[in-house]
Chain A
Amino acid sequence: MRVCIVEMPSYTYAVKGEKLLSSRGYPCKIKRNISASPGSCGYSLFIYKDVKNAVAVLEQYRIPYTRITYGGE
């Protein structure tokens, strides 16, 4: 399964993003980054469905992120 990995700048925003997306029906999970990412806090939001809209929700609510990548789960 292809997942969207949204690297976060802080753990606080990772949880805030996770709660926001989960409450709106976008399944996601906080996980530790697998590869080094200098600008990030080391945690990413893994989004499993409807990625484009989910990212739009993060942006709408001004949840900052450092990078978006895609990977398999």
Chain B
Amino acid sequence: MLINFDNAATTFPKPRSVRKAVSEAVELFGGNAGRGGHPLAMRTSAALYSARETAADLFGASPENTVFTLNCTYALNMAIQGIMSGGGHLIISGMEHNSAARPAAALASSGRITLSVAEVFPDDSRTVEAFRSLIRKDTKAVVCTLAGNVTGQIPPWKEIAALCNERDICFIADGAQACGIYDIKMSDGINILCTAGHKGLYGITGTGLLISDGKYPIKPLIQGGTGSASLSLVQPELMPEALESGTPCIIGALSVKAGIEFIRQKGMDSIRSHEERICSRFIKELQAIPGAAVYREPEASYVPVVSFNIGSIPPEQLAAELSEQGFCLRAGYHCAALAHASLGTRNGTIRFSPSVFSCEEQAAALANSIKNISGSGKYQKNY
């Protein structure tokens, strides 16, 4: 039996209602949305709109500004490259996933933009100051994660968003680790929210969302069929179709709708409390293991994710041994070069991330396995 503690990568299992929605989508919604007037196309179009409306409502956005993407990486690329297409200065946080850091670095290395990286400290006021000090007259956008994917640290993003809003700087948020457990709203100062559909929203893989408040037009990265203005060779500007060229992942969008309905029924506060309890229990058990290092600071806030190491045991090796016992955890660098550089974790870490379907007993069993591996004498104790 597998016990998944790699839910920060993608949640598994999926709720029964999501599995049912996927099955129904395959059976019933086999048309192409927004293309054609026959019954299959019409009912598929209506279903996709309904999914769009559900996602928009969750984040306090309008359906036309809610774009389905393949994942959060696509959404971030569309947002960063679309907003920065005319050049300017971009600031990203030092906790960004490569999905934001790489497109930003690529634009900078091609000379099209200038890029600054704002350090994230355990002390929120220092982090806000780090962002403030980097803002220039030509700063066009700021990209900040709502929660880091390595340690789960929550930066003071509302304060950073406020800094941006006061100065007409586009605030782009990466919500991949926060959406579904926090009630994130566009009215919190977010101009563009990018998130995954397959993590805390419990949709299937291959789903993501880009949600805009409509203030900053996003130049499309991809042009193609939108089902509209078909005789024109110019990409239509109207959202969301302008950013949804080609056939969307309709099955995926319907899974996200079911996932959102699931988390709404459970309650985001309740899901978060449940996962936080599991993390607290896990940390407590870990702390009893000699050499355990948990990457959390007392003054910082975290989503339910725990990054750790045990003495000098290579994280990949520990994860491999745990996986032999049925525990699924991700070790290494988690596609987050900046965060690991900032943590100084040259060999990476091992990451524990529960979901609504995890329980404390599983976390305790995992900690016990770690204790046994660590105490087996196989690894040199040089902590």
Contacts and interface: CB of A to CB of B under 8 A. Distances in A.
Interface of A: 9-13, 15-16, 30-33, 38-43, 64
A10 B241 contact: yes
B236 A38 contact: no
B375 interface: no
A12 B240 contact: yes
Contact of A38 (B63, B226, B231): B231
A12 B232 contact: no
A41 B232 contact: no
A33 B228 CA distance: 12
A56 to B, nearest CB: 20
B238 A64 contact: yes
Interface of B: 33-37, 42, 45-46, 49, 52, 63-64, 226-232, 236, 238-241
17 contacts: A11-B241, A12-B49, A12-B52, A12-B64, A12-B240, A13-B64, A13-B238, A15-B49, A31-B37, A32-B36, A38-B232, A41-B34, A41-B226, A41-B227, A41-B229, A41-B241, A42-B37
Nearest to A38: B231
Contacts of B240: 12
Contact of B236 (A9, A15, A16, A43): A9
A38 B34 CA distance: 15
Given A38-B231, A41-B34, A41-B227, A12 B46 contact: no
A11 B34 contact: yes
A32 B46 CA distance: 13
